[in-house]
Structure 1
Amino acid sequence: MVAKIIEGKHFGGCVGYVLKDRSEIIHAEGLRTTSARTITQDFNLQRKLNPRLGKAVGHIVLSWSEHDKGKLTNRLMAGVALEYLKSLDIDNTQYLMVRHHDRKHDHVHIVYNRVDNQGKTIANSNLRFRSVKLCKQLNSKYGFYQASGKEKVNRGRLKGADKAKYEIHDALKTALRACGDWKQLESYLKYKGVAIQYKKKANSDEVQGVSFSKSGYTFKGSEVDRSLSYGKIDRLFNGQEVQQSAETDTNLTNHQAIGISPMGLAMDAMVSLLDIGIAHDQDDDAIKRKNRNRR
């Protein structure tokens, strides 16, 4: 289970969206659920207790993996959603829980009022950070499937900055299997449409950081992934040799899993063959020198 957290200003649009076709209300508190209109009216009535709060609409989407499909009942999903809200101190307020059936994976939309029953604002400080930690705890408690790493993200549904960020991530992870230094990395990423910018120390050529750009979006290496900071990539280049020939089969499998194009595979293969060829030439030179010494 993972959570997506959104905040907004208008209950009408949010309620109208979550109550679309192939949806069902599985739980509600403090609301008349006769129609989208009555739900919106009730949300807005309580909102007037704190009119200065601009973004009073809390909207959270809890999504489960397809692996959990057989165990997810309305009662279980509502119970987990209630536990999730309470653990984040989102209580003593109105909320609506709607299950959608329009995707392969089950998910519940939670709409809640950030103006609580006493007119106080429900805080959102560090909400996303706390949510990530809580989802891991709930997955462990209920035995829900949890995907590991960025490789499990559905790339096809990403847009804008998120899409660019994951394209950079995938290109870097693939490149680091084949490249042995920064120049090789620059060339490979240029082929993938990714540009590199280095951050240097003032009045010096000493590199302190690196950023990557694609489709008009720029991210620090550590923002793409903690393993992709300048320091960690540089240590990889300086401390480990690329064992390309031994990893070829594994790399091909990984490339296919993350959707690398046939041209990209061809380029990786060329790099691999070049490395192998250099190694063979070095071995041949060593043998010739050894034979000359024997004479």
Structure 2
Amino acid sequence: MIGNQTKGKSFRGLLDYLENKEESSLIGGNMFGTNARELAREFRLSRQLNPEAEKVVHHVSLSLSPGEQLDNDTWCEVADKYMSEMGYTANQYAIYRHSDRNHDHIHICASRISLDDGKITRDSWEYVRSEKIIRQLELEYGLQQTLNSKEKLSRAPSSGQQQRFEREQLEYEQGERNTPPQQPIKTQLIELIDRATVDKPTMPQLIERLQLLGIEVRHGLTRNSKSKGISYSWNDQKFSGTSLGPAYTFPGLQKHFEIDYQPQRDDESIHELLLKPVKPLPVEQLEKFLQEIERKQQQPQFTPPPEDKVVWQVLHKYLSEKRYIPDYISQGLHNNQLLYMDEQRNILFIKRDLDGEKTGALIWSKPRQSHRAVEYDQNTSTANGWFYLRLGGQPTDKVENVFLCSSPIDAMSAATYLISSCKGLPPTRTMLIVADDPNNLPMEFLKSFNRVVVAFNNDQEGNNAASAVLELLPQGKRLKTHNLDWSQELEAHLREGQQKLRQQDRGFSL
């Protein structure tokens, strides 16, 4: 049996994913809900006990070997014992069984918040503890002893090291030792690489992640551009990829972890990273960084709705003639499938995370009455995404200026206003992002700037949002329009410019 576990923020997102898979059934747990909506509502009980906690969702999958199968009652017994041994003795959890693959498996959606005291259930060395529990369950239920991918493709530490760790772990659990034992450096390194590869990054992304984790990476090419191999250094110990196992060599990373490597695209980036490694993260941020990678991997994929291409020209004409948005902005967004009308004639603005992955959409349902855009579908969108556009400088330049706007059309209008004021694209890379909700801001990204322009609309809603955001971002600067919103501000600015031109044509100057 193979076990995997990840953490996240959204109970409803995970539950919808588990429920909507083909051949899915809710078979057990310790909750009363009978569907994703009811269970999500019930999970709020534990969340209310610790509202400040972030990663409160624990997702476990347990998979049998091909050909093995358990009935629902036995699966529930296995899941209950697993959760109890992992320390989830007073936590809510639901068990889903999926039969859409050639191996029988279940998913457990659990709250990390204990109903007894509202504290987060400990997760130290949970990967090691999970493997130990799974080995015990295999023996108890007569299941095939299954090595997980890490055990198959990595070189295990010596038997002496492993025996020492198990002895010290038992001493710690019995109170004979004050601190938990440390796994061998080699085992810790393998686990870090495993966790950094769960979402199948590109090779440069993986190398950068390992550097952020404090792992030094070395890699070289022959004259024929063939890999000389890859090696790792961590905690003053060096390991070749081969010494860690077949999966950790340069070709092994591509074969077993599906790391995307394209020489023409990646070699220059890899060379730059090896010459100038990125600075490692502080120790206290490492676990959060890894959990964010795992959250993205767990997160259900957002699929943008198909476009009704027939009506694009209608929307394009409206934006040009009524909203004064130039072609290169509206057409550029449309070419990248970030702005269009779907088959229900909804005007959609696609949200992305800061890496460019599409995470959801906003609907502009009443363009002639309101600038407000609402979520396309709360169940398919994720919180970690925003509608944004970037302009000025070079496409590969680092963003230097950030404007926060109230809605997508206001961001487009503010961009047009900025270009008009600069008499061309701004010289530095500038980002306009729709992020007026203080509860959904890319805080780490925004804190990296010396100044953030808070360009919300000049109405009650915009001013309230600006006040809340400025409390979170002391370096923020409020930029108010003379009119209620950026669309009206742009129209007034363009008319003023036209008036000046007419006066100059008549021989006047102001």
Q: 1:161 and 2:190 equivalent? A: no
Give the match's secondary structure for 2:54. coil
Give 1:195's aligned residue: 229
Higher helix share: 1
Q: Deviations over 1:143-166 (max 9, x none)?
A: 111234759979xxx99836989x
Decide which of 84, 97, 100 is 1:99's aligned counterpart: 97
TM-score when normalising by structure 1: 0.54
Mapped contact 1:9–1:56 kept (Cα < 8 A): yes
Decide which of 108, 111, 118 is 2:109's aligned counterpart: 111
For 1:68-217, what aligned pairs fall within 5 Å after superposition? Answer: 68-69=68-69, 72-118=70-116, 119-148=118-147, 150=149, 161=197, 193=227, 195-197=229-231, 209-212=238-241
The Cα shift of 1:129 comes to 0.8
Kindly provide the amino acid, as one letter, of the partner of residue 98 in structure 1.
Answer: Y
Give the match's secondary structure for 1:97. strand
Q: Deviations over 1:264-291 (max 9, x none)?
A: xxxxxxxxxxxxxxxxxxxxxxxxxxxx
Where has structure 1 moved over 6 Å in runs of 4 or more? 151-154
**Aligned positions, number:** 188
Give the match's secondary structure for 1:104. coil
Mapped contact 1:64–1:106 kept (Cα < 8 A): yes
| CA distance, structure 2, for counterparts of residue 38 and residue 194 of structure 1 | 55
Q: Deviations over 1:240-295 (max 9, x none)?
A: xxxxxxxxxxxxxxxxxx9xxxxxxxxxxxxxxxxxxxxxxxxxxxxxxxxxxxxx
Q: Deviations over 1:96-153 (max 9, x none)?
A: 0000011100110001111121322211111111001111111112111123475997
Kindly provide the amino acid, as one letter, of the partner of residue 135 in structure 2.
Answer: K
Give the match's secondary structure for 1:51. coil
Q: 1:55 and 2:60 equivalent? A: no
Give the match's secondary structure for 2:197. helix
The Cα shift of 1:222 comes to 4.8
**Which is worse superposed, 145-154 or 92-101?**
145-154
| CA distance, structure 1, for counterparts of residue 64 and residue 10 of structure 2 | 27
For 1:266-277, what aligned pairs fall within 5 Å after superposition? Answer: none
Kindly provide the amino acid, as one letter, of the partner of residue 126 in structure 1.
Answer: W
The Cα shift of 1:53 comes to 1.2
For 1:30-41, what aligned pairs fall within 5 Å after superposition? Answer: 30-33=31-34, 35-41=35-41
- Identical residues among aligned pairs (%): 30
Mapped contact 2:47–2:56 kept (Cα < 8 A): yes
Instruction: For structure 1, list consecutive stretches of 5 or more residues without a partner in the other structure.
Output: 166-185, 203-207, 213-220, 230-257, 259-295
Give 1:218's aligned residue: none
| CA distance, structure 1, for counterparts of residue 50 and residue 240 of structure 2 | 43
Kindly provide the amino acid, as one letter, of the partner of residue 31 in structure 2.
Answer: G
Instruction: For structure 2, list consecutive stretches of 5 or more residues without a partner in the other structure.
Output: 154-193, 202-220, 250-255, 257-510
Q: 1:23 and 2:29 equivalent? A: no
Kindly provide the amino acid, as one letter, of the partner of residue 82 in structure 2.
Answer: Y
Mapped contact 1:196–1:210 kept (Cα < 8 A): no
Distance 1:80 1:59, change over 3 A: same
Give the match's secondary structure for 1:144. coil
| CA distance, structure 1, for counterparts of residue 100 and residue 83 of structure 2 | 24
| CA distance, structure 1, for counterparts of residue 195 and residue 49 of structure 2 | 37
| CA distance, structure 2, for counterparts of residue 37 and residue 198 of structure 1 | 46
TM-score when normalising by structure 2: 0.33
| CA distance, structure 2, for counterparts of residue 117 and residue 198 of structure 1 | 42
Mapped contact 2:31–2:39 kept (Cα < 8 A): no
Q: What do you get for the CA RMSD once the two structures are aligned?
A: 3.8
Q: Deviations over 1:209-236 (max 9, x none)?
A: 3444xxxxxxxx554479x99xxxxxxx
Kindly provide the amino acid, as one letter, of the partner of residue 58 in structure 2.
Answer: G
Give 2:398's aligned residue: none
Distance 1:194 1:148, change over 3 A: farther
Kindly provide the amino acid, as one letter, of the partner of residue 87 in structure 1.
Answer: E
Give the match's secondary structure for 1:116. coil
Q: Deviations over 1:153-194 (max 9, x none)?
A: 79xxx99836989xxxxxxxxxxxxxxxxxxxx98xx85x46
Distance 1:9 1:159, change over 3 A: closer
The Cα shift of 1:31 comes to 3.4
| CA distance, structure 2, for counterparts of residue 11 and residue 198 of structure 1 | 37
Distance 1:16 1:66, change over 3 A: same
Give 1:265's aligned residue: none
| CA distance, structure 1, for counterparts of residue 32 and residue 58 of structure 2 | 15
| CA distance, structure 2, for counterparts of residue 112 and residue 198 of structure 1 | 35
| CA distance, structure 2, for counterparts of residue 198 and residue 98 of structure 1 | 39
Distance 1:194 1:96, change over 3 A: farther
Mapped contact 1:26–1:98 kept (Cα < 8 A): yes
Distance 1:8 1:134, change over 3 A: same
